[in-house]
Amino acid sequence: MRKHLKMLLVSLVALLSFSATTSTVFVKAEDDKPLLVGMEAAYPPYNWTQSDDSNDAVAIQNSPDFANGYDVQIARKIGEALGREVVIVKTEWEGLLPALQSGKIDMIIAGMSPTEERAKVIDFSDPYYSIQFAMVMLKDSAYAEAKSISDFADAKVTGQLGTLHYALLEQLEGANIQQAMDAFPVMRVALQSKRIDAYVSEIPEAISATNALADFTYVLLDPSFDVPEADATISVGLKKDSPLLEEINKALAEISDEEREEIMEKAINTQPGAN
């Protein structure tokens, strides 16, 4: 009886030791996995694609290219805080939410606002940037002297597909709203070819556009667009009930407002075509 009891105890201890070891290995394996961050890599200065790893760029999954920009540097800060490598998953804007929900990516860091509609299907971190809106046009445009939302009567205007930007166009009194476009590079080409008169953007992208293209300018409107407070910020998108949310908020809290502005300034100055 004692012999059987002793064997049972030995077996139990061995089983518990194996379970503890397995659990430790599993957790370590999870920690060793890279953070897969989804973004367009086509929205400077928030994010763009480049051919090398200069200026702390991050590798793009299944590509020889790299991503950089404000979003990328915020992702790096989060990765450092979590002790995990960051890998960028280049994804079209309309594919970001499906990619997150399917598990293809761990998070979205792509200049995305935590709108009420999006918050129904995914969770958002605390904001990592606040937005001011602008209208971008050619310097010789009849609308280059616009001062308010009432100064765009008959203007052919557009914004990015699936974004708050496009919805804001309805506030431009008498404007001729065109079909939404897939990405900012597409809108820049449309503006250069005069297929549109202006597009709605944010100050960093507007500065980016005017730095890269000498014939571009932008205006800030007063009165400007009426925007819900939550929609005038940018946050990290996560799956509902993601265990990463608390850690990400802690990481973001360590980045001061001054440092955020420094990161954005560097992104504007190092984006393609800035010099």
Q: What is the span of the domain harbouring residue 262? A: 33-130+234-270
DSSP state of 44: T
Specify the CATH number for the domain of residue 65.
3.40.190.10
Domain boundary among 219, 246, 262: 219
Given a cut of 80, is residue 18 above it in pLDDT? no
DSSP 239-273: -TT-THHHHHHHHHHTS-HHHHHHHHHHHHHHSTT
Is 154 within a domain? yes
Given a cut of 70, is residue 88 above it in pLDDT? yes
Average pLDDT over residues 203-209: 92
Is 14 within a domain? no
Rounded CA-CA distance 48/265 in Å is: 15
Average pLDDT over residues 37-63: 97
Three-state DSSP state, 170: helix
User: Percentage of the chain surpassing pLDDT 90?
Assistant: 81
The answer to whether 91 touches 183, Cβ cutoff 8 Å, is no
CA torsion 144→146→147→151, rounded to 10°?
A: -170
Q: Are residues 104 and 122 in the same domain?
A: yes
Write down the pLDDT at residue 32. Answer: 78
Q: Are residues 120 and 74 in the same domain?
A: yes
Q: Are residues 124 and 137 in the same domain?
A: no
Is 224 within a domain? no
Q: Are residues 113 and 197 in the same domain?
A: no
Average pLDDT over residues 228-244: 94
Q: Are residues 148 and 215 in the same domain?
A: yes
Q: Quote the number of domains for the chain.
A: 2
Is 67 within a domain? yes
pLDDT tens readout for residues 161-173: 989 999 999 999 9
Q: Are residues 200 and 246 in the same domain?
A: no
Given a cut of 60, is residue 30 above it in pLDDT? no
Write down the pLDDT at residue 147. Answer: 95
Is 4 within a domain? no
Q: Are residues 64 and 197 in the same domain?
A: no
The pTM score is: 0.77
Q: What are the strands of the beta sheet with 35-39, ordered from one edge?
A: 86-90, 35-39, 107-108, 233-238, 123-130
Integer Rg of the chain from CA: 23
pLDDT tens readout for residues 92-135: 999 999 999 999 999 999 999 999 999 999 999 999 999 999 99
Write down the pLDDT at residue 252. Answer: 98
Is 20 within a domain? no
Q: Are residues 38 and 125 in the same domain?
A: yes
Q: Are residues 97 and 123 in the same domain?
A: yes
Q: Are residues 117 and 185 in the same domain?
A: no
User: Percentage of the chain surpassing pLDDT 70?
Assistant: 88
Given a cut of 80, is residue 15 above it in pLDDT? no
Write down the pLDDT at residue 10. Answer: 46
Q: Are residues 205 and 152 in the same domain?
A: yes
Rounded CA-CA distance 190/158 in Å is: 10
Is 23 within a domain? no
Q: Are residues 113 and 177 in the same domain?
A: no
Nearest to 123 by CA among 36, 242, 20: 242
Given a cut of 70, is residue 192 above it in pLDDT? yes
Is 207 within a domain? yes
From 11-15, 70-74, 211-215, 219-223, the region with the lowest mean pLDDT: 11-15
